Each structure stands twice: as C-alpha cells, then as structure tokens.
Structure 1
Amino acid sequence: MPPSSDRTTASAKPAGGSGGVQSLERAFDLLERMADAGGEVGLSELSGSSGLPLPTIHRLMRTLVACGYVRQQPNRRYALGPRLIRLGESASRLLGTWARPHLARLVEETGETSNMALLDGDEVVYVAQVPSRHSMRMFTEVGRRVLPHSTGVGKVLLSHSSDEEVRALLARTGMPAATERTITSPDAFLRVLEEVRAAGYAVDDNEQEIGVRCLAVSVPDSPTPAAISVSGPAGRVTEEATERIVPLLQEVAADLSKALAGNGLGAG
C-alpha cells in the first residue's frame, strides 16, 4: 500500500489528547510509519514524516528495540521486529472470527462459499471461510497463501496500489499460471486492475481453478488491506448471478467495516 498521505504528525497531537499516554501514541505512530515505508526506515526519515525531534525518536526506538518490536540493522536503519509477527497472527485470527457472521450471511443468501483474505507481504492469505452447503468445495482453506495475480481477492487488494508498486510486486513473485486462464502479463494485469477500480469488484474467472468463478470486493476502511469473496462453480456463479451477488458483497463489506470500527479496529 502507498504511504499514508493524511497521517497527522505526532508532534501536532495534544499530549494525551485522547486520554492516553503520549509516549505510547507516539511509539505506535512510529511503528505505523515504518509499516507505511515498507518496514525499514532511518531516524531522519521518521523525524521528517512525524515532526518529532530526533532525540525523542531515538529514545522511543531504543525502547521498541529493547522490547523486540523493532530491530536495528547493520546499516543503522531500523526495521520492524519479529515480536510483531505474533501480534499480527493473533490479530488476523481475531479479524477472521469477527468476519465469520458476515461471511455466513453471504453463504445463506448466495448458497456459495465465502472467504475473507488479507494481503500479507506479497501474498494473499485466507483468514476466514464459511463453506457452501453444496458438496463441491473450493481450493481455498483458512491459512492458505496464494499469489495475488490469479485470485479475485488479490486483484481487489492490489487495485489500491499504484501501478509501480504492482509491477514491483509482480517482478518479485513472478506470474505463474495456475490454469490456462491465469493472467501472466503485467500489462494485461494492470489493465484488469483499471477495470476493477472502475467497477468496484473483481472477478476470478477460472484463473485459479478450472470450473470455479469468484467475485470479490474490498472491505472499506479495514485496519489492514482486506477483501471478501464469494466462490462457486462457474455454472452457478454466472454473469447473471454476478449482478445479484456483487451488490450483496458490497453491502456485507460495508457492514463488516462498521463492525470492525465498533471493535476499535477501523482505520482512523
């Protein structure tokens, strides 16, 4: 995701303005800025983006390093630390738990399998699923990781990134063909992302698994890039069914966004 352009500078926040502890607010703000910058930054970069003086940043980073949430690289730059992985994995599981009732509504109203997925690094990871009552099962399962170029959720998630960021990701992952319908050209994929942005949803048409069609939308204002989808046999998830399923997906995604905000997880 591109760096946030509207993040309030930490120095502009009143001390304890939300009834909290200013040093904690500043520490978490720095962690988020590090994530926005790709996970590794220098102190001067953090000072420039946050507005905090270097001595303050150095003191906060020293504490974060001691706790394992940040580590200092040999080049003196700072990177997000391994202890954050455990927190992220736990948060992803909770996100999936809160999503399940909303996915269940999709299954109830469409009859097809519903999933929630996140963008984790260069991969899509499925964090929640409610299966269809039909005997046919999709390839997805909770915890599975796939490359984003061949999935509906991956297209939706990447549609929020710039073309340059998408090209860089595709260069790192390659574009292996899962089926003969998989898009394997960066230029063709970027054209599809333009269509996704215009339409507000993405389609995986036999691109990850032959015989399976998937429709996906973003979860607005999610604390981390997230998407939900409905998948089923191409004979049931038809063009006609798309006109009925997509508005429902968008409605459920909006409801899920409100639920996450109510749990204190909405983007702010």
Structure 2
Amino acid sequence: MANGTGVQSVDRAIDLLEIMTDLGGDAALSELAAAANLPLPTIHRLMRTLVGRGYARQLPSRRYTLGPRLIRLGESAGRQLGASARPHLERLARELGESANLAMIDRDMVVYVAQASSSYSMRMFTEVGRRVYTHCTGVGKMVLAELPDQTVRDIVGRVGMPPATDLSITDVDDLLKEIGTIREQGYAVDDGEQEIGVRCFAVPVKDAPTPTALSVSGPAARVTYEFGEAALPLLHEVADTISKELLAA
C-alpha cells in the first residue's frame, strides 16, 4: 500500500495493480474499493487511466483484469533480474558442480529467468523462459511458501495440480502441509516430483519484486540429501547476495 512518501495518485494506481494480482488477476470495482479503502469514484478514475494506458482491461462482465502492457514490463524485469543474477548462478554451478536456476512466480506458474549449467555430461537443462507448475517443483513450492495459504489454494484452484510423475503432490491439503514444513526449515526439495531421478533444493530470494527462488538440481544419484545439507549454506548466501543487490538497485 501507499507509504506516503511518493505521489499519491501513482501510489494508489500501483496499489490497485497489486490488489488485482493478489486477487488472482481480476476484480470488481467494489472489491478494489474495499481492499484499497478508497471511494468508488476514485477507484473508477484510476482504473480508467490504467485501462487507457494498457495496464488494465475491462472485461465484458465489467470486472477489471491486468492489462497486456504489464507482460512486456514483467518480461523485461525478469530478463534484467536474470542477467544480474547469472554470475551468482555460475558461481553456484562452479562450486557445487550442478545446475543452478533462478525462477519467479508469474501468472500462477513459475518461470525460469536465469540458469547456469553443470559441467557434467549428465546434467539438467532448464530453458530460460520455461513455465512450470508450482506444486511439483522445488522453486515452485518455495515461492508458494512465501504466499498466504489462501493464495496457494487460489493458484492451484485456477491451474490445477496435474501430476508430472507418480511422486507429484496432487492434493492441496498435502501441498499446504509440505509448505508448512518448507516455511519452518527455510528451503524446499523436489524429490523426483517434476522428473523421475532428479532432485532439487531451493531457497527463497527475499525482497524480489515477486516471490522468487534460487535452486540447485541434478541427478538424484549425485544430488543426495547429504549434498543438499552441504549446499544449503551456499545457496542461502548467494540468495542473500542477490537480495541485497535488489535492495541497492
């Protein structure tokens, strides 16, 4: 919400975009007014401006949704974050010997924004720009752990929980139970849930513009739980470095 240090109308417009995002991407005027604690005429005026600039759209139902111009901004922001984080991912890949990834939540899915490959011939190839479900990936479960439980329910309610493997979580209550564990321990594990024989350890990147996670992944024969225990301090250190650079930007 607006912090009182900037231009009020800009603060309010950004608030409305963030509220729509929290509500799943679309909202009625009354919902926006209640969440922003502003009168309907003010909300209508701000939304009319956002629609005119392409940052919001009005649906036939009269509800408002996020606009197409935000896609270009989000993609650009993701590329910039990926470019600045890549040297850190290369350090992880070099020191741990396995592939490192940076991913963030985007429209109910997780998108990979940067990657550094392992030096092994048998390694994980994650294409930058690839979108995956949140419930069956290490980075996905990690970003879900940064969100309220109801938001997690809303996300999987919209996109579903299709199993990528027989080990994928397919029940929202089971997912929330695991997310509770992730919040307590500070990291997430994908143990063959996205791809059989592959294990991934993921940690959060605090202060990112949207929930973001850093991970290391590889064949389960190499990326053991002992490997993860040894790798987690470095993962957290690199995540903290990326976070500090975001704050300084």
TM-score after normalising by structure 2: 0.90
For 2:99, the aligned partner's letter is T
* Residue 82 (structure 1) aligned to one of 68, 76, 84: 68
Counterpart AA for 2:46: L
Q: Using the alignment, how far apart are the partners of 1:52 and 1:171 within structure 2? A: 29
Q: Distance in 1 between matches of 2:175 and 2:66?
A: 31
Q: Deviations over 1:132-186 (max 9, x none)?
A: 1111221421111111222111111112234443334334433333233323333
Cα RMSD after superposing both structures: 2.1
Structure 2 counterpart of 1:65, from 28, 31, 51: 51
Alignment counterpart, residue 225 of structure 2, candidates 236, 239, 242: 239
Classify the secondary structure of the residue corresponding to 1:161: coil
Q: Percent identity?
A: 60
Shift of 1:63: 1.7
The match for 2:235 among 245, 249, 252 is 249
Q: Indicate how the Cα distance of structure 1 residues 39 and 256 shifts in structure 2: closer, same or farther if over 3 A, else same.
A: same
Q: Distance in 2 between matches of 1:149 and 1:262?
A: 32
Match of 1:190 in 2: 176
Cα distance 1:203–1:79, how it changes in 2: closer, same or farther (>3 A)?
A: same
Task: Please say if 1:127 is aligned against 2:113.
Answer: yes
> 1:34 maps to what in 2?
20
- In structure 2, distance between residues paired with 1:201 and 1:221: 16
User: Unpaired segments of 5 or more residues in structure 2?
Assistant: none
Residues 139 and 209 in structure 1, CA contact (< 8 A), matched pair in contact too: no
Residue-pair matches, total: 249
Offset, 1:232: 1.5
What are the ranges of 5 or more consecutive residues in structure 1 without an aligned counterpart?
Answer: 1-6, 264-268
Q: CA deviation at 1:258?
A: 0.8
- Equivalence map 1:56-205=2 (5 Å): 56-205=42-191
Deviation at 1:8, TM superposition (A): 4.0
CA distance in 2, matches of 1:73, 1:162: 27
The CA distance in 1 between the partners of 2:8 and 2:175, in whole Å, is 44
Displacement of 1:40: 2.0
How far did residue 235 of structure 1 move?
A: 1.9
Residue 39 of structure 1: CA displacement? 2.2
Q: Which moved more, 1:210-219 or 1:21-30?
A: 21-30
2:39 corresponds to 1:43: no
Larger Rg belongs to: 1
On the 8 A contact 1:98/1:260 being kept in 2, the answer is: no
**Residue of structure 2 in register with 1:4 after alignment:** none
Q: Closer, same or farther in 2 for the Cα pair 1:61/1:171, shift >3 Å?
A: closer
In the superposition, relative to structure 1, how do residues 61 and 250 fare at CA in structure 2: closer, same or farther (>3 Å)? same
Q: CA deviation at 1:255?
A: 1.0
Preserved CA contact (<8 Å) 2:114 2:128 = yes
Report the alpha carbon displacement of residue 36 of structure 1 after superposing the two structures with TM.
Answer: 2.3
Question: Given the superposition, is the C-alpha separation of residues 149 and 33 from structure 1 closer, same or farther in structure 2, using an over 3 Å criterion?
Answer: closer
Counterpart amino acid of 2:164? A
Match of 1:208 in 2: 194
- 1:137 counterpart letter in structure 2: R
Instruction: Measure the CA separation in 2 of the matches of 1:123 and 1:111.
Output: 28
| CA gap 1:60/1:248 in 2 versus in 1, 3 angstroms | same
Which AA in structure 1 matches 2:203?
Answer: V
Between the aligned partners of 1:170 and 1:43, the Cα distance in structure 2 is 25
> Which letter maps to 2:188?
A
